[in-house]
Amino acid sequence: MRNTSMRVSPLFLALLAVTVLGGVLATLDNGFLVTTGVVLIVLGGWATSLCLHEFGHAITAFRGGDRAVRAKGYLTLDPRHYTDPVLSLLLPILFVLIGGIPLPGGAVWINHAALRSKKDEATVSLAGPVMNLLIGIGLTASVATIAMPLPLAAGLSYLAFLQVIAFVLNILPIPGLDGYGALEPWLSPQARHFGEQARPWAPLGIILVLVVVPGVGPLFFDAAFALFDTVGGTEMLAVQGDYLFRFWERL
């Protein structure tokens, strides 16, 4: 019997195909198809990156000693194997649709007791956001080096900016986010207990702070745009991609 625990999931390939289809449509000389293409680039690309984010956690855990991630199907990039597909895939997509904030989702369960060291634990936590950053760098590099129609460049740039936002958000040292996970192995038992209590609510709390508290949101996005510029992104293209993506605001 063939082992399918590391075979790439057809669902992941379908998400990737949707993204590629969006890229093709964004090159056509038709306003409706171009808009549809940008929407597919952003939503399909974001869903694909969520799978890659969790794969980053899982493959790093596997190399660090947690062999169970393979049996759980985490190495197949199939979101149906995640601990909560709604929180891990559907909710982040919904947040991108309504607010442009790429909400992180807790998806793969890691057996930290199986990891060899605290360094391995920290590396597992950081692997997800680093994957987002690498995707963002790859997208900005493709836009910078390959001649392409403006809508395609704008859609890819906006998707790249979402990756940068996800990186900046996830590395915050707040319970429930990966930045806290990287610090947690070195915290005292009391601090870890507090983190466990706060973990279910802290990510939603930081989103509310970004949206509601005056000045916090702009400061966060300024930092994200600064990093986006550092990795080679073009702010004007990302803004144009955001404009094309939110077509319903122009209806």
Alpha carbons within 13 angstroms on the beta-carbon side of residue 49 total 34
| CA separation, residue 13 to residues 49, 56, 159 (Å) | 12, 17, 18
| CA separation, residue 159 to residues 23, 153, 183, 237, 244 (Å) | 12, 10, 28, 11, 12
Q: Are 231 and 137 in contact (CB under 8 A)?
A: yes
Q: Which of 54, 121, 196, 235 is catalytic?
A: 54
| CA separation, residue 148 to residues 20, 87, 141, 164 (Å) | 14, 35, 12, 22
**196 catalytic residue (yes or no):** no
> Where in the sequence numbering do the catalytic residues fall?
54
